[in-house]
Amino acid sequence: MKAKFSAVGAVARGRGRRAGVLAAGSVLALAAVAACGGNGNSGGGSGAANGFKPAAQTGGTLTVWVDSTRLAAAQLYQKQHPEVKMDIVTYDGDANGSNYLQTKVSLFNRTRGGWPDVVFSSQNNETSWAVPAGFTAPLNKGLIPQSTLAGWATGANDPCTVNGTLYCLRNDLSQTVLWYNQKLMKQWAYQVPTTWEQYQALGQKVATEHPGYLVGDAGDTFAPEIYLWAGKCGANQITGPKAVTVNTTSANCTKMATLLDTLIKNKTISLSSVFSSDFDKNNADKILMLPGPAWYGGALFQGTFKTPAGQVAVAPMPQWSGDTTPSVGNVGGGTWLLSAHSADLKAATAFLTWVTTADDYQGKLAPGYPAFAAAAKTWLAGQASSGYYAGDIAAPLQAAANQVWSGWGYGQFSQEAIWAATVSPGLNAGKSLVSLLPAWQSAIVNYAHSDGYQVSTS
Amino acid sequence: MSAATTSRAGAPRTARRAPWPGRAGHGFVAAYVLLLIAFGVVPTVYALYFAFTSVDNRFSGLSNFATAARDFRYLPAVGHVALYLVFWLASLVVFVVALALLLHRLSARGVSKALRFLYYIPGALAGAASVMVWLFLLDPTVSPASFLLRALGYDTFGQVVAPGHLPILFTLIAFWTGAGGWIVVMFGALNNIPHDIIEAARIDGAGAWQTARRIQIPLLRKWIVYMTILAFAGGTQLFVEPQLLAQASVGVAGRDYSLNQLSYDFAFQNNDVNTAAAISVELLVIGLVVAALFVARSGFFDAD
């Protein structure tokens, strides 16, 4: 993946012989277009939402793009269906707003060929560009029966729905919960906090009684989705197809930011990414609590940190005291897209349906909480019987699945990328989050404008 | 032409016709010209076409250039690239010339060969691979030079890649990957300086410093200009370093940093190839103008 980016860059940055060649390298991407005779018509695919005209159904190889985590799903399908000719390609899954898929699709649109049939993306905002680009096929207009679609958790497919038409299927839910180490909690006689006030108080207690231990982490690009989303901060309220309301300095935002500032200052909230070598080395075995998405359990505690079994437990996300409508955040939870250009819609749809609903994968193998309700039941039962977790994780996860605050939308601009570029460097330099909120706001507004959004700020 | 005539005149009686000495040269150049047209001229013309047309293929004057200039990322990107160029060109000219002179002084001893090889190694790595090496070097947790980073007060990758450090970091990376080749080139140029000139200088009492300042550097001037032109064109197109750093730091540093990245973003994120092409054309024009200035002011093509 990285190699492909750099291949373009290497030429652009090249050390060739002539200035002209060097400069021209920057338009290498265009050279490919020239070679293929594109006509300069941007957004080559037909963007018609309702008049979906399938490509000629000539069959052939089913090309599937997945990230490394979802590779197991595609491979299992191939094993169970050896008669299907599959070409499984791994890519970065568009993680952290890399835009790899969008880049490729816009090139495929120009060269009028090469689209994958089914794609997994770790992002929930792909429809914002993929529908106008004519890349995704409508799924609820005859391709997948309504009875199947009814099986998804309530609201799970909202990020995939544009004007009533479904353009992708949700892979997993990533509702946030409070992960904590039950063994340490008992040993130190702490109560699991149910309100943010208690959470902050406990953080301050830990800072003095057990310095070095963490009650949270804010070093990842999805930190705002864990804390500020759960805190109903309206940084990203998509109000229409091309309209967004951005207000990062509201009371809800500053309240949560102040809490984070307090705990960042006393070092009970770390600013290292949970995926960094730094965190793995210095912090992974010192986690008392860690607010985060459903997939933290399998992907982080069990997979990366190798926390011993019988310690990690789940509690509901804390709420502000007095708040009667509990809310949680959401971190990703990927989507599956079906190409409108597929030459074998039948085979592609069969795979898409299997990969999102089958118990064999979603229920038994998937690392995250399946968005398909029946698979989620199997998944939760499997987690319970694995004996890895301390206590019941099903109840808090199921409850949180219905509490994701709906005011945080999925725009075309990557919230994660904006946070990373504007807020993270400031936090690393020791600035307070509260002081960075206005800069965060203006960056969101700028990016939204450049993607053609109408922006309102109140 | 005259070479061809002499060779034909000179070999009428031999059975084998001596090949025209120009032929091999033209053959080599032809292969290059082909690639130049395919990957240089055609894309440039195509970019020019894009830059002056709108989405619906109509002539749009300078409106794409205006769109680019109005973008909130444009001026910061210009600033970033300008600052980077200052660091990069200054370090390149000073250190490459100094190191080449040093190598030349050592040439009698075997050390020179070893050093030349050492300087050249990083250049042998492909561009992106060498940047990847730096991503490890700059992370205090895994870096072999972590003691140095910690001594400077940086404990995390995030602190090392703070926005203010980027021009220096990119200069370090670019120098490490690119300077070795130039040192070898300069060394070759120094070897071309006739020994009797150096000898005469020594007899006149010039020391190492005076020989360098009054004889070697003035005679290297054309090579330095050549290096500056290419380094300038390469530098304005800064892309791999910030792009890879942006990926490695999950976007904390390096996203939308340079003009080339902005062009890339316009093409693939904002689906606006025309504005992307406008930025590329600007880079081409800047590169050509600066090259022309340097060539004209330095008498680059004057015969000796």
The domains located in chain B, with CATH, are 72-298 (1.10.3720.10)
Q: Which two tokens stand for residue B296?
A: 């004209």
pLDDT score of B14 more than 60: no
pLDDT score of A20 more than 60: no
Q: Answer yes or no: do B280 and A27 touch at CB < 8 A.
A: yes
Strands in A176-181's sheet, in edge-to-edge order, are A289-293, A176-181, A312-315
pLDDT score of A49 more than 60: no
Q: Which of A24, A31, A451 sits opposite B284 (nearest CB)?
A: A24
Q: Which of A26, A28, A30, A431 to mutate to test the interface with B (most CBs of B within 10 A)?
A: A26
Say what the pLDDT of residue B108 is.
61
Say what the pLDDT of residue A41 is.
36
**Lowest-confidence range among A264-273, A351-360, B123-132?**
B123-132
Asked if residue B270 lies in contact with residue A45, where contact means CB atoms within 8 angstroms, the answer is no
Say what the pLDDT of residue B231 is.
93
Q: Which of B57, B156, B237 sits opposite A12 (nearest CB)?
A: B237
Tell me the average pLDDT of chain B: 85
- Identify the burial level of A353 via C-beta atoms within 10 angstroms of its C-beta, where 0-12 means exposed, 13-18 middle and 19 or more buried: buried
Question: What's the helix, strand, coil split of chain B in %, to 5?
Answer: 75, 0, 25
- Identify the burial level of A194 via C-beta atoms within 10 angstroms of its C-beta, where 0-12 means exposed, 13-18 middle and 19 or more buried: middle
Distance CA A319, CA A386 (A): 30
Say what the pLDDT of residue A12 is.
34
pLDDT average, residue stretch A11-30: 36
Q: Residues A245-301: pLDDT tens digits? A: 999 999 999 999 999 999 999 999 999 889 888 888 889 999 999 999 999 998 899
pLDDT score of A443 more than 70: yes
| Nearest Cα residue to A371 out of A104, A219, A160, A210 | A160
Q: Answer yes or no: do A450 and B57 touch at CB < 8 A.
A: no
Q: Does A99 lie at the interface with B, CB-CB under 8 angstroms?
A: yes
Q: Does A319 lie at the interface with B, CB-CB under 8 angstroms?
A: no
Q: Which of B142, B250, B287 sits opposite A277 (nearest CB)?
A: B142
pLDDT score of A309 more than 50: yes
pTM over 0.80: no
pLDDT above 90 covers a percentage of chain A that reads: 62
List CB contacts (< 8 A) between B253 and chain A. Answer: 421, 425
Q: Which of A5, A6, A8, A13 to mutate to test the interface with B (most CBs of B within 10 A)?
A: A13
| Nearest Cα residue to A368 out of A331, A321, A326 | A331
A contact residues 425-454, partner B, Cβ 8 Å cutoff: 425, 428-429, 446, 449-451
Asked if residue B267 lies in contact with residue B261, where contact means CB atoms within 8 angstroms, the answer is no
Say what the pLDDT of residue B303 is.
62
Q: Burial code of B20-51, b = ≥16 C-beta within 10 A, e = fewer?
A: eeeeeeeeeeeeeeeebeebbebbbebbbbbb
pLDDT average, residue stretch B106-132: 75
**Lowest-confidence range among A142-151, A389-398, B205-214?**
B205-214
Q: Which two tokens stand for residue B116?
A: 């030349």
pLDDT average, residue stretch A399-410: 89
In total, the C-beta contacts within 8 angstroms joining chain A to chain B are 209
Say what the pLDDT of residue B109 is.
66
- Identify the burial level of B203 via C-beta atoms within 10 angstroms of its C-beta, where 0-12 means exposed, 13-18 middle and 19 or more buried: exposed
Amino acid A339 reads S
The torsion of the CA quartet B223, B226, B231, B237, rounded to 10 degrees, works out to: -170
Q: Residues A66-94: pLDDT tens digits? A: 999 899 999 999 999 999 999 999 998 88
pLDDT score of A52 more than 60: yes
Q: Answer yes or no: do A40 and B47 touch at CB < 8 A.
A: no
Helix (H, G, I), strand (E, B) or coil at B131: helix
Which residue did the predictor score with more confidence, A72 or B302? A72
Q: Residues A190-217: pLDDT tens digits? A: 999 999 999 999 999 999 999 999 999 9
Neighbours of B262 (CB within 10 A): 24
Cα-based distances in Å from A121 to A16, A127, A144, A183, A415: 37, 11, 20, 36, 16
Say what the pLDDT of residue A53 is.
84
Asked if residue B237 lies in contact with residue B260, where contact means CB atoms within 8 angstroms, the answer is yes
Q: Does B126 lie at the interface with A, CB-CB under 8 angstroms?
A: yes
Q: Answer yes or no: do A24 and B229 touch at CB < 8 A.
A: no
pLDDT score of B304 more than 70: no
Nearest CA in chain B to A92: B247
Say what the pLDDT of residue B118 is.
82
Q: Residues B51-107: pLDDT tens digits? A: 999 888 889 989 999 999 999 999 999 999 999 999 999 999 999 999 999 888 886
Q: Is the ipTM of this structure higher than 0.85?
A: no
List CB contacts (< 8 A) between B179 and chain A. Answer: none
pLDDT score of B127 more than 70: no
pLDDT score of B13 more than 60: no
Strands A62-66 and A86-90 come out as: parallel
The values of phi and psi at residue A40, to 5°, are 80, 10
Position A23 confidence tier, pLDDT thresholds 50, 70, 90: very low
Distance CA A340, CA A57 (A): 11
For CA atoms A427, A429, A430, A435, the dihedral sign is: negative
Distance CA A318, CA B30 (A): 71
**Backbone region of residue A333 per phi and psi (left: phi > 0; alpha: psi in -120 to 50; beta: other values):** left
Q: Give the N- to C-terminal CA distance of chain B in Å, as an integer.
A: 22
Distance CA A271, CA A281 (A): 14
Helix (H, G, I), strand (E, B) or coil at B185: helix
**Lowest-confidence range among B119-123, B170-174, B276-280?**
B119-123
pLDDT average, residue stretch B138-167: 87
Q: Give the N- to C-terminal CA distance of chain A in Å, as an integer.
A: 40
Say what the pLDDT of residue B75 is.
95
pLDDT above 90 covers a percentage of chain B that reads: 38
Say what the pLDDT of residue A448 is.
92
Per the listing, tokens 């008498």 go with B299
Asked if residue A413 lies in contact with residue A93, where contact means CB atoms within 8 angstroms, the answer is no
pLDDT score of B20 more than 50: yes
Q: Residues B197-225: pLDDT tens digits? A: 988 988 998 888 888 888 899 989 889 99
